Amino acid sequence: MNKRNSKLILVLILVFGLGTTNSFSQVTAPEIDAIVEHAMDNFTVAGAAVAVVKDGQIIFEKGFGLKSIDSKEKVDEHTNFAIASNSKAFTTAALAILVDEGKLAWTDPVIKYIPEFRMYDDYVTQNFNIEDLLTHRSGLGLGMGDLMLWPVGSDFSVADILNGFQYFKPVSAFRTKYDYDNLLYIVTGELIARVSGMSWEEFIKEKIFAPLGMDNSYASVTYMNDQSNLASPHLNNGKELSLIETEHWDPKMINGAAGGIYANVHDLASWMLVQLNKGKYGPQQEKQLFTEASQQEMWKIHTTMKTDPNPRYNSHFAGYGLGWRLNDAKGNLIVSHTGALAGMLSKTLLVPDLNLGIVVLTNTWGDGAGLFSAVSQTVLDKYLGLDEFDWTEAYVKRLSQKGNEAAEVVANVWATVEKADASNIDLNNYSGEYKDPWFGNIEIYEQDKQLWFRSVRSPKLTGPMHYYGANTFVVKWPDSELTDADAFVLFQLDENGKAQGFKMKGISPAIDFSFDFQDLELQRINE
């Protein structure tokens, strides 16, 4: 799911330097190999895998580095990684198949298939159509409600998600602004299940993986009986790597339509080829996964985005289609997407005009975003005939700068905590049970003369609270998965100094947008 780090996503769209056009030449496998090795040498990542397709052929597929820093086993072209939000394009392809079969239309209202679906406004509810589920123009804020998905381990279900939308407050008018949304893709997965009579996972396996021969790809890691060639997720803390838990959802509770697929670059090469072949596949391109008309709908801008004006690519437009980001570079359509789960990052980039596809997978959070950007951009530049530019160096510098800026902000917060005088704070004024209408109950309790925070439904969100100043505390999450996710807790007090509710917000500029603490509105439950 695309998770997941909003600051890294900003990095991915930055373009450095200027360029001039040179004569075009075919990029060789040794050249691609050298590009990836250069990135591997400069970014701290455990492993990566890359595939490039050109003119209907796989011209490069290879693994680099390690599946796990513990096992020391090597990545190969068949090693599975979480592709996270690159799963969204599979979800829209599933809808395209259903559209081609005449079982639904792109503009059908969602309530036609999910009558209990309710948005924040009755007009929006009645007019919210299937394409609105896919195009990040709902009016809701960035990542709103994602705390029901992350951190993994909560007990929220699809039914809870469907119930939650009515409580979300919009930040913009319906269909006017791009704000990335994961939960609406979960709704899409449920819609696919209701229309097709099979779960989203079953549909992806039978209608997409099987026809394309993606025999070692899985709609959920829970379906992967043999995990001997599965990459393990890693965190990059400075220049050191550490293993973390593999993220996944129980398909019985939450479908994977927003980001559940695990795949390898060999299989994803087949996926890129069917996209570049306008839905056709087979030895003689005699079979059709989805029609060209459906592909045109998926590759049409539905929601406009800010255009990068850098003259290196002379870009004129940018927007979001159905499960794909769309822009132009040197007169060529660029169809792409990124994906991120804890410790897993991916990027797919297609250039239909050049019959070119690039996919990069990595199993390291942090520097992995720099690697997949540098590799894909360098290969793209060569095919566009642009002058040499060291994307690896540029992203190393940019990530370092962003990391240092975020670290300074966090350090200043904890320095304030160290100096704060909590001697006159009556912890009883804050202790109690609080409730948010979509996220459920939070317990604030005292333990060893310190306040603690505990989410009833998302148990990983449990941690000690430290006094910051005035009516504000900072909660620190012990779980390593929650890097950069520590948060302010700002209590609202009554005339007697007793807390009646609280708001939250992340303290680090590098916090992943899916930790949408700012969307919670917790009120004390009367005792």
List, for residues 65-111, the tens digit of each pLDDT value. Answer: 999 999 999 999 999 999 999 999 999 999 999 999 999 999 999 99
Treating both helix axes as pointing N-terminal to C-terminal, what angle do 183-196 and 87-100 enclose, rounded to 10 degrees? 30
In 3D, which of 48, 38, 44, 37 has the Cα closest to residue 76?
48
pLDDT score, position 6: 42
For 340, phi and psi rounded to 5 degrees? -150, 125
Question: Which string of DSSP letters, residue by residue, matches 484-500?
Answer: T--EEEEEEE-TTS-EE
Residue 72, amino acid: K
- Name the 3-class secondary structure at 240: strand
pLDDT score, position 280: 97
Structure tokens at 336: 């792409």
Q: What are the 10-residue block averages of pLDDT along the chain, 527 residues in total?
A: 43 36 68 97 97 97 97 98 98 98 98 98 98 98 97 96 98 98 98 98 98 97 94 87 90 96 98 98 95 97 91 94 97 97 96 98 93 97 95 94 94 97 94 98 96 97 97 93 91 96 97 96 90
Structure tokens at 59: 């011209």
User: In Å, what is the CA distance from 367 to each residue of 68, 95, 265, 360, 392?
Assistant: 16, 34, 20, 13, 11
**Cβ atoms of residues 12 and 339 within 8 Å:** no
pLDDT score, position 428: 96
pLDDT score, position 11: 39
Structure tokens at 451: 């306040």
Q: How many helices (H) and strands (E) does the chain have?
A: 13, 23
Structure tokens at 111: 């309530």
Expressed in angstroms, the distance from the first to the final Cα of the chain is 39
Residue with tokens 């996220």: 439
pLDDT score, position 481: 74
**Cβ atoms of residues 19 and 381 within 8 Å:** yes
pLDDT score, position 26: 80
pLDDT score, position 248: 84
CA 526 and chain centroid, separation: 38
In 3D, which of 322, 2, 296, 325 has the Cα closest to residue 130?
322
In 3D, which of 325, 273, 376 has the Cα closest to residue 88?
325
For residue 386, the 8-state DSSP code is B
364-365 vs 234-237, strand pairing mode? parallel
- Name the 3-class secondary structure at 473: strand
Structural domains of the chain in order of their starting residue, each with its CATH number = 6-403 (3.40.710.10), 427-524 (2.40.128.50)
Q: Which residues contact 409 (CB under 8 A, 6 or more apart)?
A: 507, 508, 509
Residue with tokens 């990069």: 360
pLDDT score, position 25: 59
